[in-house]
């Protein structure tokens, strides 16, 4: 049986204790037909961990639990609705066939996520500007650091000289 859910998909739980909650797929187990979801308030499992050596601590940790694939539906990134999945087969000019997952509601591709591409393009521009400003700040800081010790040593030697003069005058 093929699964229509892939790692990174946004899904909504349609059955079970967490019905109505949304999350993101972290892992897919095709043999057991289960998916591991990440999200606030979703199913968590307590694991009892033994220490493997003297430095590690044992204890009880909580991690994400798995949900059966039949209990989740994919959320379309373009229309934002919970949808079933259709498969579209296209043939390239070279004769290669390519399967894509398609939203039944709006017909948009589920494999390409346009919202993330736009966000990454916006994030990339400010990073380069911040790197330039950081470089300028570090150059200024280096220049100040090289100047500062010279002033400190000069003031230290001046105070030492004053103390020695005062000591000689007292004698």
pLDDT in tens, 25-78: 999 999 999 999 998 878 888 999 999 998 988 999 888 889 999 999 999 988
pLDDT of residue 16: 87
Cβ-based neighbour number of residue 82 at 10 Å: 16
Strand-pairing partners, residue 35, are 28, 67
Position 68 scores a pLDDT of 93
Domains in the chain, number: 2
| CATH number of the domain where residue 38 is located | 2.30.30.30
Using the predicted structure, report yes or no on whether residue 12 has a pLDDT greater than 90: yes
For the segment 134-166, what is each residue's pLDDT rounded down to a tens digit? 555 555 555 555 554 444 445 566 666 667 767
Range of 61's domain?
1-75
d(CA 80, CA 8): 15
Please say whether the beta carbons of 35 and 72 come within 8 A: yes
Residue 107 maps to a domain: no
Residue 160 lies in a domain: yes
Chain CA centroid to CA 37, Å: 15
pLDDT on residue 152: 47
């Amino acid at each position: 049986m093929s699964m229509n859910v892939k790692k990174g998909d946004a899904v909504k739980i349609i059955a079970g204790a967490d019905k109505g909650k949304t999350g993101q797929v972290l892992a897919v187990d095709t043999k057991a037909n289960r998916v591991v979801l990440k999200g606030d308030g979703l199913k968590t499992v307590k694991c009892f961990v033994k220490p493997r050596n003297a430095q590690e601590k044992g204890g009880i940790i909580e991690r994400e639990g798995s949900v059966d694939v039949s209990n989740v539906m994919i959320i379309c990134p373009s229309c934002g609705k919970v949808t079933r999945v259709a498969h579209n087969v296209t043939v390239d000019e070279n004769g290669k066939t390519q399967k894509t997952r398609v939203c039944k509601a709006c017909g948009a591709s589920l494999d390409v996520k346009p919202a993330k591409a736009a966000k990454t393009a916006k994030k990339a521009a400010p990073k380069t500007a911040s790197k330039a400003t950081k470089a300028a700040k570090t150059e200024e800081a280096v220049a100040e650091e090289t100047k500062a010790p010279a002033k400190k040593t000069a003031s230290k030697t001046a105070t030492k000289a004053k103390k020695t003069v005062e000591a000689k005058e007292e004698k």
